[in-house]
Every structure is written in structure tokens, then in C-alpha cells.
Amino acid sequence: ADRDVPADRAFVCDDCGHRWYYDRRRCPACGHGAESAATVRLETGAVVATTTVETTPPDVRAPNHLALVRFDEVQLIAQAADGDLSPGDRVRFDGSHRLRDGRERTDPRLVAVDDS
């Protein structure tokens, strides 16, 4: 566990094919060791719910917009680029943002997909 995997990736069990988001020591479906699990890029998902966190740690942006999103069989909570997302919106990961001030690593945030 604790691999440095970009935010727009999900893990795939090399034994049963199950996909999950957060790094784990074992596949949540079959219990197979996850140390060799591959990762796949999450393409387009659908917003299930949103929230805004107004009170954050000193080094995290406020307000911090979050969305619960389903990407096929993977469901996750991630930072949204802004507070304009609503349930049912189609989203993807985009951009390069720091979660915390002073942190070197950057990750994409959720943005709406323009279906026009």
C-alpha cells in the first residue's frame, strides 16, 4: 500500500479484475494481495452528490468543493475544480492542482464534461 498513484487512476486486481479507488493491501472483492495491481485511468463519471467544506486545515483551500462520483463500478470522493457541479453532471479529471500548500505533488480535479 501507499503507492504514489495519480488521483485519476483506479486499481485493478490482477486475479479477479475488480476495480477500486483507494490504495489497499488486498483486493476488496477477492482478498488477493494488491501489491502488483495495475492501474487504469478513470475517464468520464457521473456526480452522485456534492458538498463544500468551509472549515479546512490551514494548508488546504477553503472553500473545498468535493463530489461523490461514480466511474463505472468505481465510486469515489474527489476535489472539484469549482462549486458548480450538481448530481447527474458528467465529469472527468483535469488540470494540475496541489491539495495542500507546500506539497510538491499535484493532481487533477473534477471538471464538468461539455457534451455539446
Residue 105 has what pLDDT? Answer: 76
8 A C-beta contact, residue 62 and residue 55: yes
Residue 2 has what pLDDT? Answer: 58
Residue 116 has what pLDDT? Answer: 64
CB atoms within 10 A of CB 57: 9
CA–CA separation, 111 and 108 (whole Å): 9
Closest CA to 37 of 19, 54, 52, 53: 19
Q: What is the pLDDT along the chain (116 residues), one digit of tens a residue?
A: 556 788 899 999 999 999 999 889 999 999 999 988 999 999 999 999 999 999 999 888 899 999 999 999 899 999 999 999 999 999 999 998 877 777 777 889 999 998 76
Residue 85 has what pLDDT? Answer: 97
